[in-house]
Chain A
Amino acid sequence: MQGALTRYRIIAWIVGVILIVLVLVGMPLKYAGDNDSVVAAVGPFHGFLYMVYLVATFDLSRRAGWPLGRMLLVMLAGTIPFFSFWAERVVTHKWAVRSMDTTAAMAEK
């Protein structure tokens, strides 16, 4: 559980940072500067890492016992620039923590 959360947080940050690079650097260069080298180089890489993000999110959601809708919500949150960092915070401080508390309480009983 803890390991899955750490993996999720790491990949969420990497994907979030690369997405911001794409939006703030790559897109202006491509559409305003007519130079798509950044998008061509970073884009597929980001796509691949987003697949890793999906796998990590699925793994975390399975271990934390999230409902299906929440898992899809977290997966989609990774596609929105800037918002993804806030989503990572919510997941880490609310959803993952709470489920760990309940599993600990269940283990005590």
Chain B
Amino acid sequence: MRALWTPAWIARHVVALVLVAGFLGLGWWQFSRATGGNTLSWGYTFEWPVFALFVVFLWFREVQQELRSGRARQETPEPAPEPEPGTSAPVTVRRPVRVQSSSPAAPADDPELDAYNDYLAWLNAHPGARPGDYPGRQSSTKQ
């Protein structure tokens, strides 16, 4: 609650009050004009109170946001030192999952991939050769 009585917030309260009072006053002025015969003023008679309500709504929302962020600021110092002790459960759960998902892929024997790697190795060993000159896979016959 004390966060709402800093100089900046007092200025905001004053601005909101002045705006609401001013808008309601303008609405009253338009009402007097409307009763004086100006039909267009009937629209403004309702428009200015809506503006005043909008200011009230914005003020209410900003106050709520300030209170909520103030509460969050009080709560954040507590979870901050958490990751350093052994309570970092979500991290330890995630890492084995990542290792497991990558490790089966590495040793998996993919004959197609092996053949392609053999082909690339042959192309690298014979610069200037065309793909059609590739004699086929020899390493597999040796094994």
Contacts and interface: CB of A to CB of B under 8 A. Distances in A.
B46 to A, nearest CB: 11
A68 B60 CA distance: 12
A48 B44 CA distance: 10
B47 A68 contact: no
Contacts, number: 6
Contacts of B72: none
A51 interface: yes
A44 interface: yes
A51 B47 contact: yes
B135 to A, nearest CB: 48
Interface string B33-44: 000000010010
B62 A44 contact: no
B58 interface: yes
Interface residues of A, number: 4
Nearest to A71: B58
B98 to A, nearest CB: 15
Nearest to B40: A44
Interface string B16-42: 000000000000000000000000100
B58 A68 contact: yes
Nearest to B61: A68
A44 B58 contact: no
Nearest to B57: A58
Interface string A63-91: 00000100000000000000000000000
Interface in B56-78: 58, 62
A8 to B, nearest CB: 17
B47 to A, nearest CB: 7
Nearest to A40: B40
Contacts of B58: 68
B43 A68 contact: no
A51 B47 CA distance: 9
Interface of A: 44, 48, 51, 68
Interface of B: 40, 43, 47, 58, 62
6 contacts: A44-B40, A44-B43, A48-B43, A51-B47, A68-B58, A68-B62
Closest 6 CB pairs of A and B: A44-B40, A68-B62, A68-B58, A51-B47, A44-B43, A48-B43
